[in-house]
Amino acid sequence: MSENKKKVVVRMAPSPTGYFHIGSVRTALFNFLFARQNEGTFIFRSEDTNDARSKKEYEDNILESLKWLGLSYDMFMKQSERTEVYVSYLKKMIENGSAYISKDEAATATRKGEEIEQRSEVIRLRNPNKKIIFEDLVRGTIEFDTTESGDFVIAKSLTEPLYHLAVVVDDHETGATHIIRGEDILSSTPRQILIQEAIGATRPIYAHIPLILAPDRSKLSKRYGATSLVEYQKQGYLPEAILNYMALLGWNPGTEKEIFTLPELIEAFSIEKVQKGGAIFDEKKLRWVNKEHIKLQKEKIIEIIKEKISNKYPEQTIDVRILELIFERIEVLTDIDRLIEDGELDYFFNEPALTKEKIAWKTSTPEEAKKHLEHVLTIIGDSDAVMKYAEEAGKGNVLWPLRYALSGKEKSPDPFTLLSILGPDVAKERIEKAITIL
């Protein structure tokens, strides 16, 4: 960065009125990446002036989520602790005539879409009724006519600033150079620019990123991914995978590369490559990205699998091939619990319960299944011979009763994998048991 270039300052400014939303992850990530890439400052600002809805538990959840994701901030601030600052600006604006106390009945005002009660006395910005033109790094040249906004309310009283005023004052005081946020807040920009001009603030550079959409291109809902980040944590997604996937929603690196670590994202990210169109949230793709990151952490994940098996079967020796088998089958960490804790792989450690009907399910008669298993017993130590016999007699006729006899499950690894891991002695005992049942 050259000495005369202004240092980049960006901010993540959520209202703590709910748990950290998965969509907010991307806003935080884009700001973080832009700051780190430019050796700038990343500010976390809690917009907690809404006393009725803001809760500390939500703020704590947001902060814990950022920590889990590895998105460290350089400065922390709370709007609820800055009332005196907002009061000083309101007084100056009233004194210089850019704002005034409205004595007539106030129109209903809003704060981030929330209606506030009507009052007979509020503070309004004196709107110059002008056209606002600004360059957006994502959307290009944008023009608004502010006439229709009228003299809009900026505070319910001298000590109760509303969203637009508090945001502009905070951005000005912290020297925010870039405002990277969702396009759903784009309509707020002209009002904020008018307030900037009224207090003599430098206009920051804006970048309004596209919305995240459901597969049917509708607004993201709880049905399609719009849940809190903590739910994805509970489902066993890795923070690295969440960041990787969210980065790809609306941003294209311009290469075929899809799997990124956070340092790689910092190096590759470019705000100019953020797309205008809405980004589709695809949970299948998220699971794929997560599996790829699981592969990058194989040693660590294998240890988790090993520990869980040891807890479930403390007296059993753990074959490394079982660890590999489980590792290959997981997409999220909760898959480990499904495979181990729920007993899906119990057949590796305990003799399975068998039924006559299931053993003979894919053969014409129980007698036929019995005949095939008896023949397999004579060649059990030669996998090639077993496969040759299955090809001659019909794979389903031979391999189904063999696999079921070994696992007692309709779904399990192929019989040759089972034979290899269980060993010939255990396999022989289980086949003989199945023959007895038939």
Whether 315 contacts 350, CB under 8 Å: no
Report strand pairing: 178-182 vs 140-145.
unpaired
CB atoms within 10 A of CB 303: 12
Q: How many helices (H) and strands (E) does the chain have?
A: 17, 15
How far is Cα 35 from Cα 41, in angstroms, rounded to an integer? 6
Helix (H) / strand (E) containing 205? strand 205-209
Helix (H) / strand (E) containing 11? strand 9-12
How far is Cα 135 from Cα 84, in angstroms, rounded to an integer? 33
Strand partners, 76: 44
Token pair 């509708």 is found at 218
Query: Can 222 be counted among the known catalytic residues?
Result: yes
How far is Cα 347 from Cα 330, in angstroms, rounded to an integer? 18
Q: How far is CA 345 from the centre of its chain?
A: 30
CA 84 to each of CA 32, 101, 121: distance values in angstroms, whole numbers, following the listed order: 29, 18, 20
**103, 222, 300, 411: which is the annotated catalytic residue?**
222
CA 181 to each of CA 25, 323, 397: distance values in angstroms, whole numbers, following the listed order: 11, 43, 61
- CA within 13 Å, CB half, 393: 22
How far is Cα 145 from Cα 375, in angstroms, rounded to an integer? 86
In angstroms, the first-to-last Cα distance of the chain is: 78
Please give the positions annotated as active site: 222
